[in-house]
A and B are shown apart, each in its own frame.
Chain A
């Protein structure tokens, strides 16, 4: 992943990107004036729920899609005008493993290497190296249709690397993988990062952005709504918080007042999960105060704890809705806790 001498120019620049999809049901504004800057040698995670515009952004930057308006350049190449030149220096690994089922792993890598305009012997050699590196040597000469989901994703990532790209796009690299394969994929991505790859990855998993990226751009409704490191974003929602799960839903409001009084701040409530959250500037001491106040009032609790903010909280505070819920607004909330029946 030899990235060239880091000039002042950013690896990715996007200004005012818009994209509208026309469907039978009407227009969907996938991107609504998206701006983005990614320095060379960094790892940026585009974080957002399904339908936020992450994949559309990646497809535009990787020359698969033309923006309706706005401008984007990657490694100094205009994504529309210099598309063919840009394709030589980027790699893309998408949401679905884009490898040929009927070819073997080795044949796939050789083929994509050739189409990257790498000579046949070099493509063969590089395919062998990547198969080793991604733990696929044992299956290298089997057709891909016999591979597991995790193996296909690793092969897909290897295919994105066959042309030694200077910049790599990973669109939801772990979506649909089981937890073990996901951790395996993380290891592979971390290794690429250590080797100095410039990487743009999209994810709807907050912990994934936290684990892999050194900066995060939060996307919602086709716009970037916040950028920063994981810590910077977390500090936006404040420090530690106390979280209480109240046993009896009928006493939620009473508990809400008690907790707000103890913390000297308005607590928030999630009625489905009977969860109260309030900033706890006093740390553990404040936790004790809350427990005492609730106990004195005779309000039974199922759980209580002190929690550092997660990126979920960030998303909630930035957008007013939870990341996971944003995609399924039409679906009825199903998180009805047991024991809440009237």
Chain B
């Protein structure tokens, strides 16, 4: 027992000591929920498969790629990026759901690490998203998507995707604490993320967008991760103009994820501590 007077806001040594195990306990608790409400996972998987099939068969013939190449190979990294951008929504909804219940008071009244509750949420969501990503990849393989650049670059792409999803989860943590109910959380998350995924190169090649929109889409984080995956995996990646994001998509993705985590993790933790003070 340290005799030093500790501030309630500043984490003490004791707190750091339990942060890892507390985070694991919270992660365990969140993952337990998945098999207990199987409908959630089943419909998330069906939705992912549906997206792959709809885009592959409906848009596949209508969108020609500048420079040629298979639309389906072009499409799949976009689908991965879109689905994992929605990690923010998954996390936001999970957060609101917890915050609305009396359960949150119990967590707050426990001598656990203050950040474990939300860190555990982001970790369990990454594991959940990995599951979704695997289903998406299998569906992609079924419609003709292939990776051409070897195992290392394939795994690098998977890691980058999960890192991106993790960063989006932190956006979701913050969003989840701003909104009063699950329903509002759903609306807000979808309203914010749909334009993000459609104003990008995920489904259409950038050169087909109006000129004024191209820089917006070019700097969009969803475009960055999509282009990064296409580049890593040797999938078609047509770009109109040359710009920093289009020339360094992997670096751009890393910058975006770092920015998201650096901004939203402290905001989320602070908001969690401040709620109902």
Q: Which residues of B contact A96 (CB under 8 A)?
A: 101-102
Q: Which residues of B contact A63 (CB under 8 A)?
A: 8, 108-109
B101 smallest CB distance to A (angstroms) = 7
Picked from A80, A82, A115, the residue with its CB within 8 Å of the CB of B110 is A115
Q: Which residues of B contact A268 (CB under 8 A)?
A: none
Q: Judging by beta carbons under 8 Å apart, are B102 and A98 in contact? A: yes
Interface size on B, residues (CB 8 A): 31
Tell which of B102, B106, B276 has the most Cβ of chain A within 10 Å: B106
| Given A81-B8, A102-B33, A115-B25, 7 additional A-B pairs, CB 8 A | A82-B5, A84-B12, A87-B109, A99-B106, A102-B32, A117-B112, A159-B106
Q: Judging by beta carbons under 8 Å apart, are B32 and A81 in contact? A: no
Q: Judging by beta carbons under 8 Å apart, are B36 and A102 in contact? A: yes
Q: Judging by beta carbons under 8 Å apart, are A62 and B6 in contact? A: no
**Can you report 9 residue pairs joining A to B where beta carbons are below 8 Å apart?**
A63-B109, A66-B277, A82-B6, A84-B14, A90-B109, A98-B103, A107-B32, A116-B112, A117-B111
B56 smallest CB distance to A (angstroms) = 35
Q: Which residues 86-121 of B have a CB within 8 angstroms of A?
A: 101-112
Contact of A64 with B7 at beta-carbon distance under 8 Å, contacts A99-B103, A102-B32, A114-B21 already known:
no
Picked from A66, A83, A112, the residue with its CB within 8 Å of the CB of B106 is A112
Q: Which residues 61-114 of A have a CB within 8 angstroms of B?
A: 62-66, 80-85, 87-88, 90, 92, 94-100, 102-103, 107, 111-112, 114
Q: Which residues 103-157 of B have a CB within 8 angstroms of A?
A: 103-112
Measuring CB to CB, which residues of chain B are less than 8 angstroms from any residue of chain A? Answer: 5-8, 12, 14-15, 18, 21-22, 25, 28-29, 32-33, 36-37, 101-112, 276-277
Q: Does A143 contact B (CB under 8 A)?
A: yes
Q: Judging by beta carbons under 8 Å apart, are A88 and B111 in contact? A: yes
Q: Judging by beta carbons under 8 Å apart, are B105 and A117 in contact? A: no
Q: Which B-chain residue is minimally distant from A91 (CB atoms)?
A: B109
Tell which of B14, B32, B111 has the most Cβ of chain A within 10 Å: B111
Measuring CB to CB, which residues of chain A are less than 8 angstroms from any residue of chain B? Answer: 59, 62-66, 80-85, 87-88, 90, 92, 94-100, 102-103, 107, 111-112, 114-117, 143, 159, 163
Picked from B32, B107, B277, the residue with its CB within 8 Å of the CB of A115 is B107
A225 smallest CB distance to B (angstroms) = 26
Q: Judging by beta carbons under 8 Å apart, are A103 and B32 in contact? A: yes
Taken together as a complex, chains A and B put the C-alpha atoms of A116 and B276 apart, in Å, by: 22
Contact of A92 with B36 at beta-carbon distance under 8 Å, contacts A65-B276, A82-B6, A114-B25 already known:
no
Contact of A92 with B106 at beta-carbon distance under 8 Å, contacts A80-B8, A84-B14 already known:
yes
A56 smallest CB distance to B (angstroms) = 11
Top 5 A-B pairs ranked by shortest CB distance?
A96-B102, A98-B106, A87-B111, A98-B102, A88-B111
Q: Which A-chain residue is minimally distant from B22 (CB atoms)?
A: A115
Q: Which residues of A contact B277 (CB under 8 A)?
A: 65-66
Q: Judging by beta carbons under 8 Å apart, are B108 and A84 in contact? A: no
Q: Which A-chain residue is minimally distant from B35 (CB atoms)?
A: A102
Q: Judging by beta carbons under 8 Å apart, are A98 and B25 in contact? A: no
B15 smallest CB distance to A (angstroms) = 6
Taken together as a complex, chains A and B put the C-alpha atoms of A103 and B107 apart, in Å, by: 15
Q: Which residues of A contact B110 (CB under 8 A)?
A: 87, 112, 115-116, 163
Q: Which residues of A contact B105 (CB under 8 A)?
A: 59, 64, 92, 94, 98
Taken together as a complex, chains A and B put the C-alpha atoms of A38 and B7 apart, in Å, by: 25
Taken together as a complex, chains A and B put the C-alpha atoms of A316 and B125 apart, in Å, by: 54
Contact of A84 with B8 at beta-carbon distance under 8 Å, contacts A65-B276, A115-B25, A116-B110 already known:
yes
Q: Judging by beta carbons under 8 Å apart, are B6 and A84 in contact? A: yes
Q: Which A-chain residue is minimally distant from B21 (CB atoms)?
A: A114
Q: Which residues of A contact B108 (CB under 8 A)?
A: 63-64
Taken together as a complex, chains A and B put the C-alpha atoms of A278 and B158 apart, in Å, by: 82
Taken together as a complex, chains A and B put the C-alpha atoms of A103 and B33 apart, in Å, by: 7
Q: Which residues of A contact B22 (CB under 8 A)?
A: 114-115
Taken together as a complex, chains A and B put the C-alpha atoms of A116 and B112 apart, in Å, by: 7
Q: Which residues of B contact A117 (CB under 8 A)?
A: 18, 111-112
Q: Judging by beta carbons under 8 Å apart, are A64 and B103 in contact? A: no
Q: Which A-chain residue is minimally distant from B25 (CB atoms)?
A: A114
Q: Which residues of B contact A84 (CB under 8 A)?
A: 6, 8, 12, 14-15, 111
Q: Which residues of B contact A115 (CB under 8 A)?
A: 22, 25, 107, 110-112
Taken together as a complex, chains A and B put the C-alpha atoms of A69 and B261 apart, in Å, by: 35
Q: Judging by beta carbons under 8 Å apart, are B109 and A111 in contact? A: no
Taken together as a complex, chains A and B put the C-alpha atoms of A84 and B153 apart, in Å, by: 45
Q: Which residues of B contact A103 (CB under 8 A)?
A: 29, 32, 36
Q: Which A-chain residue is minimally distant from B1 (CB atoms)?
A: A85
Q: Judging by beta carbons under 8 Å apart, are B33 and A81 in contact? A: no
Taken together as a complex, chains A and B put the C-alpha atoms of A100 and B15 apart, in Å, by: 23
Q: Judging by beta carbons under 8 Å apart, are A83 and B8 in contact? A: yes
Taken together as a complex, chains A and B put the C-alpha atoms of A143 and B36 apart, in Å, by: 8
Q: Judging by beta carbons under 8 Å apart, are B111 and A100 in contact? A: no
Taken together as a complex, chains A and B put the C-alpha atoms of A62 and B277 apart, in Å, by: 12
Picked from A82, A97, A107, A112, the residue with its CB within 8 Å of the CB of B102 is A97
Q: Which residues of A contact B14 (CB under 8 A)?
A: 84
Contact of A94 with B102 at beta-carbon distance under 8 Å, contacts A81-B8, A84-B14 already known:
yes
Taken together as a complex, chains A and B put the C-alpha atoms of A95 and B27 apart, in Å, by: 26
B115 smallest CB distance to A (angstroms) = 13
Taken together as a complex, chains A and B put the C-alpha atoms of A92 and B22 apart, in Å, by: 19
Q: Which residues of A contact B37 (CB under 8 A)?
A: 102
Q: Judging by beta carbons under 8 Å apart, are A64 and B276 in contact? A: yes
Q: Which A-chain residue is minimally distant from B37 (CB atoms)?
A: A102
Taken together as a complex, chains A and B put the C-alpha atoms of A115 and B107 apart, in Å, by: 8
